[in-house]
Copies of this chain bind each other. A is one copy, B any other.
Amino acid sequence: MPLPPEFHEIAKRVNNWGRWGESDEIGTLNLITDAVVREAVATVRAGRRVALAVPLRQRGIQTGLIPGRVNPLHTMTSVNREEFAPGSVATSDDTVTMGLQAGTHWDALPHVSHGGRIYNGRPADSITAHARAVFSGVEKARHVVSRGVLLDVARARGVDRLTPGRAVTPEDLEAAEDMGAVSVGPGDVVVVRTGHMQRYLAGDRRAYGSASPGLSIRTPEWFHARDVAAVANDTLCFEVFPPEIDGLWLPVHALHLVEMGMMQGQNWNLEELSAACAEEGRYAFLLAATPEPFEGAVGAPVAPVAVL
């Protein structure tokens, strides 16, 4: 099934191909200028830090629905090994196997394609099994430090969490701006809270991993208008699931990653941040969220920290 006309119309309006040159590989991260970072730093008042990553473990977020996206298998390759001199200093070492999008992660730009193209019009078949993503691999996002803005939609709408299947709309985002007395602007990294992560934190992985609230197909234009650098939320799918338009899968992914060249974050734990922002009465902060630089990867784990 080809993508419907409404998708292509939005795509035209938000497309950033060529905006930062033909050879650009990082898209909207270009919007994080030194000036934006200085503003980000200026938001810090308390020095309070909030971690947004879910711990990586074998009984983690994945349930087996997405083939190959395996939870971390962490194994010890040595345990108190006295390799040098018995009775002296002993060492322990470890290793991991995991899907790069298994936990709290960023989607890199080549994570999706459509019409044979990835961001900036590069050919999708530049991604291969052996070379992996030669353009816009996640390691190209060398540093992601900017102003973070929490749009706490669940709180703004007065609920613990949005219901599965509930699409987060531009109106929701603006309601959250109003509640937080904050205005999203160029270079911001926006984190959108639905509260859905509570399902995982309560131990119900299946409820977390199936139908969920998420971003509406109408939001990419809103992010584009605000010149946002990146967006993350607290769900597995990022966009609303099941999809808003029957049979149209992952349109938000395609608009953000391919058309806009904007990274997306998933499985971020925004519960503690929600409480901290409410307590501090501030919804803008310094956000440090650099992905692990796996060469040629289409996604990577990240351990984001907000500093309020």
Residue A301 interfacial (CB < 8 Å)? yes
CB distance from A12 to the nearest CB of B (A): 17
Closest to A68 in B: B77
Query: With A78-B130, A88-B249 as given contacts, are A94 and B297 in contact (CB-CB < 8 Å)?
Result: yes
User: Could you say how many copies of this chain the assembly holds?
Assistant: 4
- Do residues B132 and A111 form an inter-chain contact, with CB atoms below 8 A? no
Query: With A99-B95, A294-B96 as given contacts, are A35 and B47 in contact (CB-CB < 8 Å)?
Result: yes
Which A85-110 residues sit within 8 Å CB-CB of chain B? 85-101, 110
Residues on B with C-beta less than 8 A from A34 are: 46-48
- Do residues B99 and A97 form an inter-chain contact, with CB atoms below 8 A? no
Which of A36, A64, A95 has the most B CB atoms < 10 Å from its CB?
A95
Separation of A125 and B251 alpha carbons in the complex (Å): 27
- Do residues B79 and A69 form an inter-chain contact, with CB atoms below 8 A? no
Residues on B with C-beta less than 8 A from A127 are: 76, 79-80, 92
Stretch in A52-60, A177-185, A206-214 touching the partner: A52-60
Residue A291 interfacial (CB < 8 Å)? yes
Closest to A48 in B: B34
Query: With A68-B130, A97-B95, A100-B94 as given contacts, are A293 and B55 in contact (CB-CB < 8 Å)?
Result: yes
Separation of A103 and B90 alpha carbons in the complex (Å): 21
Residue A25 interfacial (CB < 8 Å)? no
- Do residues B53 and A44 form an inter-chain contact, with CB atoms below 8 A? no
- Do residues A1 and B100 form an inter-chain contact, with CB atoms below 8 A? no
- Do residues B44 and A143 form an inter-chain contact, with CB atoms below 8 A? no
Query: With A41-B47, A73-B95, A77-B69 as given contacts, are A85 and B124 in contact (CB-CB < 8 Å)?
Result: no
Residue A72 interfacial (CB < 8 Å)? yes
CB distance from A95 to the nearest CB of B (A): 5
Which A29-57 residues sit within 8 Å CB-CB of chain B? 33-38, 40-41, 44, 46-51, 53-57
Separation of A137 and B268 alpha carbons in the complex (Å): 21
- Do residues A295 and B56 form an inter-chain contact, with CB atoms below 8 A? yes
Q: Of B38, B90, B132, which one neighbours A113 at CB under 8 angstroms?
A: B90
Which A108-163 residues sit within 8 Å CB-CB of chain B? 110-114, 124-125, 127-130, 132-133, 139, 142-145
Closest to A102 in B: B95
Residues on B with C-beta less than 8 A from A284 are: none
- Do residues A98 and B101 form an inter-chain contact, with CB atoms below 8 A? no
- Do residues B87 and A1 form an inter-chain contact, with CB atoms below 8 A? yes
Residues on B with C-beta less than 8 A from A86 are: 1
Residue A191 interfacial (CB < 8 Å)? no
**22 A-B contact pairs sorted by A residue (CB < 8 Å):** A36-B47, A51-B142, A55-B295, A59-B67, A68-B75, A68-B130, A74-B132, A74-B295, A79-B79, A83-B130, A88-B249, A89-B250, A89-B251, A89-B253, A91-B111, A92-B111, A92-B113, A92-B129, A93-B99, A94-B101, A94-B132, A96-B297
**Interface pairs A-B: 7 shortest CB-CB:** A68-B77, A288-B288, A34-B47, A37-B47, A78-B130, A84-B249, A75-B75
